[in-house]
Every structure is written in structure tokens, then in C-alpha cells.
Structure 1
């Protein structure tokens, strides 16, 4: 079973502290990492869009067994 497009998007509610956000990120990372391990094809990419918005996803750009992080600020509108 493959999970090619699997991702978790996190947006912290107003007033969410850093510790609560970190726990959400850790949980999302563990979930996606377990899928990556079962598929044995992709790594995990964590993208910070804003200080309160993240995506944790399987990525063919990341080698199996690795987790990469990147900043990708959204364009202001």
C-alpha cells in the first residue's frame, strides 16, 4: 500500500503556545514517518509556511529514512 500524497497540515489556533504546537508537530511527524517506513520509498518533509502553519508530508525529494525541514513563507496578499 502506498501513500504517495499523504500530508498533515497544522495551523495553530490563536493563543496556542509553542509547546502545544511542538507536540502537534511531533505527533504529525511520527504519523508520517511511520507511513514512510512502511512504504520504504520516501522521506519526510516538514515545511513552515508561517510561524503558526506547517505541513508534514511524504516527499519523493527526501531520501528514505530522512526528515528534511524547510521554510517556505507564503506570499503576502
Structure 2
């Protein structure tokens, strides 16, 4: 199991449009990125759990300077 040092879980409210969700993701990305940059060793892994639920985390799986995206393998 991978240990994530810092993370933000984002769950969009019902009826949230794509533009509003993208804005929330951008804001969360910037917050997590500031944590990643301060550590200087890892970067950001964005996991989509559902169309309206995401986790953004500083992860040792991701090389410094990169952002990786993945779908949660448990998501149907």
C-alpha cells in the first residue's frame, strides 16, 4: 500500500456543472502542489473515484515536477 503524505478529498455537490468542478479541482491542485514543492521530492497523484469525487495527494509514486492521473480501480 502506498503512503500519501498529504491529500485533499474533493466531492462535488449534486448539480455541480463541469466548469465549477474543474475550478474546484484546479484550486485543490494548487493547494496540494504547494505542499509537494515545499517537500521537493514528490508530486501529485489525482485519483478519480467517481465523476464527482476525487483525491489529490502528494505521492512518492510520482516523480518531482509531474502530475499523474488515474481512475480508482474499484470504480465500476
Q: Same fold (TM over 0.5)?
A: yes
Whether 1:21 aligns to 2:21 is yes
Contact 2:33–2:44 (8 Å) recurs in 1: yes
**CA distance in 1: counterparts of 2:43 and 2:14, whole angstroms:** 31
- Map Cα deviations across residues 24-77 of structure 1 (whole Å, 9 max, x no partner): 00000011111111110111000000000000000000001110000115456x
Whether 1:56 aligns to 2:38 is no
Distance 1:44 1:60, change over 3 A: same
What is the total number of aligned residue pairs between the two structures? 73
**Shift >6 Å, 4+ stretches:** none
Q: Which TM-score applies when normalising by structure 2?
A: 0.88
Structure 2 residues without counterparts, runs of 5 or longer: none
Structure 1 residues without counterparts, runs of 5 or longer: none
Contact 1:48–1:73 (8 Å) recurs in 2: no
Q: Greater share of strand residues, 1 or 2?
A: 2
